[in-house]
Amino acid sequence: MLTRISHRKLWTSARRVLRPSLCRTSSARLPSPLSHSHTFSSSAFALRSTTYAYFDFNFLHWKRHCFSTQPALELPAGKIVDVPLAQTGEGIAECELLKWHVQEGDYIEDFQPLCEVQSDKATIEITSRYKGKVAHVLHVPGDIVKVGETLLKILVDETAFPSATVGDSEITKSLHSDQVLVNESASAIAALGNSNNAELLDSDLEKRKRAAVLSTPAVRSLAKQHGIDINEVCGTGKDGRVLKEDVLNFAAKKGIIVSVSAVLDADNVEKPRGAEGYTVTPEYKSPSEDRILPLRGYQRAMVKSMSLAAKVPHFHYVDEINCNALVELKTAFQKNNPYPDVKHTFLPILVKSLSMALTKYPALNSCFKEDSMEVILKGSHNIGVAMATPNGLVVPNIKNVQSLSILEITKELARLQQLASENKLTSEDISGGTITLSNIGAIGGKFGSPLLNLPEVSIIAIGRIQKIPQFDGNGNVYPVSLMTVNVGADHRVLDGATVSRFCNEWKQLIENPELLMLHLK
């Protein structure tokens, strides 16, 4: 059903650029069009100039949107025009194609519905600007189409034989989940660029059209890697879709690869798209290729919070704490543990002693209100514990530590850790913190210089407890479990002296935990 292309004349229009022959649309490695703006068949779709490009391509409304020309109306008969997905509203960068109301070869009137797309909460009907014949449909239902991407090509007014070749045919597809299918016949249009081979191409196209193969971009890439024409592979997937195994089996039969199973095992397993807050694992193409990681959930929150924290003048106070007594205490808790499901670690003891020190130095458990130049000394010690989860950094806090026992703190910490690893923390869990503890030592490192968790005024990073030799008063060497701490503080409200005194107090409680009993209520 394709119009025969005359190969007598090369036609170049102001808005079209001839492209070298292309065989594939799926790979991001395709050369990008010489000038992407030329993909838009008319400046009616020059999206940069307007916020709303009208969906209903009603000429009367164009004037409202300051389009400078209406070239589509002035096109000579027989031109194939690209119809891109126009802007559907502010901030909408892409839509999902839901269904086509037309198919290739259909004759359409202007303003006739072409397809339906979905953007977020809305399904939107797209109508045609042109009267003509649907030359090529470039997407299938389920595809995510970026604003500006060509949806289909229409041969405007098929009565006259065109003396022109077709124009830009590059379909730049963005990287997206491998659930998207690409119809091979859509890529056929790309081959029309070279008019010298028009006749050959014509039949080639017909062959391609007949052999229209469904498969994902990743599978197409794999086929290309092995030098296989995907159209020759028999698909065993749904609707005759060509799967990875089909390509590998085909390659094995052709003697291109030795063992199919070896290839399958070597590939990374794609991670499933998780719940909100999970990072989307991008499609894995090859080790040397760039990967785009959209930041979501906790990672996105981290960008925001750290940017704000960077504006605060921090100072860092470093000290070393002898943890011999702490180690002994923890071991004692474990030995005499009447609760088999409770695991004792250092952190709850550190948290409790921190709270005790805060009672004496409440300035470190406060929050600073810059606009009113006020420091609010918080009554509750809601001690946040930074946690590294598969989804990123999150800081839930233990509420009212001043009223909790070490055992209660241990249980609450375990509860929060469990929720964090399952991405089930509530907003209650992560808000209302008054000071933060970052146990980076659990992973490694001597100490870090932490950034404040605003609106708090101090944060404490504790490094790994390391056994090192020290000298006692008599010059004898003895082993000491040493932990380095780094207290980050807001220098607008805390001075070195206050932080130093606070740290000494805390250090004393850790090095001499029996002092905790003195304050037992």
Regarding 267 and contact with other proteins (CB under 8 A), the answer is no
Provide the 8-state DSSP code for 273.
P
SS3 480: strand
Exposure string for 34-51, b = 16+ CB within 10 A, e = fewer:
eeeebbbbbbbbbbeebe
- Rank residues 91 and 313 by Cβ distance to other proteins and give the closer one: 91
Residues 6+ positions from 321 with CB-CB distance below 8 Å: 482, 483, 484, 485, 507, 510, 511
- Quick one: which of 416, 425, 457, 487 contacts other proteins (CB under 8 A)? 425
- Quick one: which of 36, 291, 369, 424 contacts other proteins (CB under 8 A)? 424
Phi and psi at residue 397, to the nearest 5°: -125, 155
- Rank residues 116 and 245 by Cβ distance to other proteins and give the closer one: 116
- Rank residues 56 and 374 by Cβ distance to other proteins and give the closer one: 56
Regarding 47 and contact with other proteins (CB under 8 A), the answer is no
Regarding 277 and contact with other proteins (CB under 8 A), the answer is yes
- Rank residues 179 and 470 by Cβ distance to other proteins and give the closer one: 179
CB of 277: closest distance to other proteins in angstroms? 6
324: left (phi over 0), alpha (psi -120 to 50) or beta: alpha
In the block, which residue shows the tokens 């020059």? 46
Q: For residues 195 and 292, what is the distance between their CA atoms, to the nearest angstrom?
A: 36
Regarding 113 and contact with other proteins (CB under 8 A), the answer is yes
Regarding 111 and contact with other proteins (CB under 8 A), the answer is yes
CB of 180: closest distance to other proteins in angstroms? 13
- Quick one: which of 11, 55, 284, 315 contacts other proteins (CB under 8 A)? 55
Please report, as residue ranges, which positions from 115 to 154 form the binding site for other proteins (by CB under 8 A).
118-125, 127, 142
- Quick one: which of 34, 200, 264, 275 contacts other proteins (CB under 8 A)? 275
CB 248 within 8 A of CB 264: yes
Please report, as residue ranges, which positions from 278 to 317 form the binding site for other proteins (by CB under 8 A).
297
At 60, list the tokens: 């009367």
Rounded to the nearest 10 degrees, the angle between the axes of helix 346-360 and helix 496-511 is 130
Residues 6+ positions from 90 with CB-CB distance below 8 Å: 51
CB of 68: closest distance to other proteins in angstroms? 21
CB of 458: closest distance to other proteins in angstroms? 25
CB of 179: closest distance to other proteins in angstroms? 10
CA 475, chain centre distance (Å): 57
Q: Is 495 a catalytic residue?
A: yes
Choose one: 19-27, 166-174, 254-262, 273-281; the region binding other proteins (CB under 8 A).
273-281
At 441, list the tokens: 């030592």
CB 188 within 8 A of CB 208: yes
Q: Is 316 a catalytic residue?
A: no
Return the ∠ at Cα 330 (arms to 327 and 334), rounded to 5°.
135
What is the total count of residues that contact other proteins (CB under 8 A)? 35
CB of 454: closest distance to other proteins in angstroms? 17
Rounded to the nearest 10 degrees, the angle between the axes of helix 346-360 and helix 324-335 is 120
Residues 6+ positions from 434 with CB-CB distance below 8 Å: 365, 366, 367, 378, 380, 381, 382, 383, 384, 397, 456
Choose one: 84-92, 200-208, 212-220, 372-380; the region binding other proteins (CB under 8 A).
84-92
Choose one: 189-197, 230-238, 409-417, 423-431; the region binding other proteins (CB under 8 A).
423-431
Residue type, 237: G
At 187, list the tokens: 């890529």
**Residues 56, 120, 495, 519: which is the catalytic one?**
495
Regarding 395 and contact with other proteins (CB under 8 A), the answer is no
State how beta strands 435-438 and 383-385 pair.
parallel
Please report, as residue ranges, which positions from 317 to 376 form the binding site for other proteins (by CB under 8 A).
none
Choose one: 90-98, 247-255, 312-320, 502-510; the region binding other proteins (CB under 8 A).
90-98
392: left (phi over 0), alpha (psi -120 to 50) or beta: left
CB of 203: closest distance to other proteins in angstroms? 37
CB of 439: closest distance to other proteins in angstroms? 21
Regarding 192 and contact with other proteins (CB under 8 A), the answer is no
Q: Which of 429, 447, 431 is nearest to 439 (CA)?
A: 447
**Residues 65, 101, 176, 491: which is the catalytic one?**
491
List the catalytic residues. Answer: 491, 495
What does the binding site for other proteins look like in residue numbers (CB under 8 A)? 52, 55-56, 88-92, 96, 98, 111, 113, 118-125, 127, 142, 273-277, 297, 423-428, 430
